[in-house]
Amino acid sequence: MAKAVKVTYTDLKPPILTIQDAIAAQSFFPSNDQEVIKGDAEGAIAAAPHIVTGEVSCDTQYHFHMETQVCKCTPLEDGMEVQASTQALDSVQTAVSQATGLAAHSVYVSVKRVGGGFGGKLSRSCVAASACAVAAQVLNRPVCLSMSLKTNMETIGKRAPYLGKYKVGCDADGRLLGIDYQLYENQGCSSTDSCLDYAVFFADSAYFCPNWRYVGTACQTNIASTTMTRAPGCISAHFFMEHIMDHVAATLGKDPGELRRLNMFQADLFKSAEVKRRKEEIEDFNKTNRWKKRGLSMVPIRYPIHWAGIRFTVFVAIYHTDGSVVITHGGIEMGQGINTKVMQVAAAKLGVPMEIVHVMATNSLSGVNSSASGGSVSSELNCKGVLECCRRLNERMDPIRQEMGGAPKWAELINMCHKKGLDLSEKYMEYPPPTAEGTQYTTWGATCTEVELDVLTGERQITRTDIVHDSGESLNPDVDVGQVEGGFVFGLGYWLTEQCRYDTKTGQLLTNGTWEYKPPTTKDIPIDLRVTLLPNAPNPHGVLRSKACGEPPLLMSCSALLALRQAVRSARAEVGHDDFFPLACM
């Protein structure tokens, strides 16, 4: 039906599509500017022995979740049942309530699992759910909505593009003395999902500088509103700082890895990644090969984790008939393993096998008022809620356990508790308070990536990547290693293969399918990918001494692009071009 609608436009003007277009037209969202000042950046730069200036940019990225925006709405005699593919249960309930005029208590939302989210189903799932609910209400019959890939790519928004202009002062050793940094974000036609604050917060990356000035400006353009995409704002700001470190190293004639090592790296990565030997081998390879070059890059990350203001409601119940345990929580399973971790925690705390623990679909009753799942914290906070529920249940059952000799069989204990009238269910809302530091804890990591470039064709291979990631005491190493690998490869697509193009006259998205838009495949990942979870690193501020691992590894993926720049520099040097140059993502 939508295809039958014909739109006629009048008074057409050239569309504003890029940050450069917005700057030229002075098209900004005035209320969204961000500024962070520390020390005296202007004075420090003016007095610095060396001053480095430049600009760097990175483009947009589509989420490319395997399942597009889908929803099923069924009218009920007293409201609406909504089965949504969403990361934000509470937001969908609110949106459907407002769109249909139903009270929130008349809108029952459930989510069994999501076929990939990456931020694309935080706010944007509300659009699909609202449209589906209105249709179901008008027709008074069940309606299922499923967006085509083309429609999904054209309408729901993507990662925000950024442009950074910088002026850096440093000493002869490469120590940063002052940074003045102007950051522009392309927010599209509205600023509803601005990520500019994230970008400004992460602007210093993993490096110390006594004097900073960050100014973030929100650009208004004619593309679809940009939205949260895995590590929103953070990945771009992190890359910009790594670009600056490379620029400083090139200006001073220093090795980029050594410059970073002075500031950040631990000896562990240099040893496990065999950095010294591989750098020597790369130098020899580049000397003897004219049309193939290799490059190596090392990148650290610092990723602060926030809990304050996030809430999840958890419910744990035990059935008296066989002692089986059922859990519902406010988090959304979207491939990150939240249900596996929740089951593990419950089984360990109650002292039962995982086989008798089951997680039911998240819903707006038992998971009432829960926050959206994102930011890498939903797994640990729901596990924390389950821990508290199980602690209370154990405390309630302990007197009867002691009456039965201290170690009765689980089924017999539950049966006796039921006979004595104990409540075998517990609900708890996890709502962490603010901390004095502003963050709960910090996740660290480092990576070393080696690439080989065909100078004639531009084809490249990532020959090896070594990643050391700080997961504290991992709740599930298999799940966490998978998250590290997945996050890194997601980032490789951003930097190396995925590109969005628009018609400069109409603003129409031209890359709206897999024929034009290329997410990474099996031939794009490192030939040799080695992931190590940092050993003996318990986190006293985390859940069971663990740390988050969903988004932080994504930031390390820019090491592949930086390694390619080293390979290109080696090729350029042979023809007399040894100047520094920017190299942006696709």
d(CA 412, CA 404): 9
d(CA 357, CA 440): 29
d(CA 561, CA 260): 16
DSSP string, 285-344: HHHH-SSEEEEEEEEEEEEEE--TT--EEEEEEE-TTT--EEEEESS--SSS-HHHHHHH
- 179: helix, strand or coil: strand
d(CA 76, CA 564): 57
Return all residues near 86 (Cβ < 8 A) that are at least 6 apart: 92, 109, 111, 114, 121, 122, 125, 126, 129, 332
DSSP string, 474-489: -S-HHHHHHHHHHHHH
DSSP string, 351-416: T--GGGEEEPPEETTTTTTPPPS-TT-HHHHHHHHHHHHHHHHHHHHHHHHHHTTS---HHHHHHH
Residue 504: count of CB within 10 angstroms of its CB: 12
- Tokens coding 378: 């939903």
Catalytic choice (258, 380, 551, 574): 551
d(CA 184, CA 18): 11
Residue 426 appears among annotated catalytic residues = no
d(CA 281, CA 563): 15
d(CA 145, CA 133): 9
- 515: helix, strand or coil: coil
Residues 245 and 207 sit within 8 Å (Cβ to Cβ):
yes
Residues 496 and 489 sit within 8 Å (Cβ to Cβ):
no
Radius of gyration over alpha carbons of the chain, in Å?
26
Catalytic site positions: 551
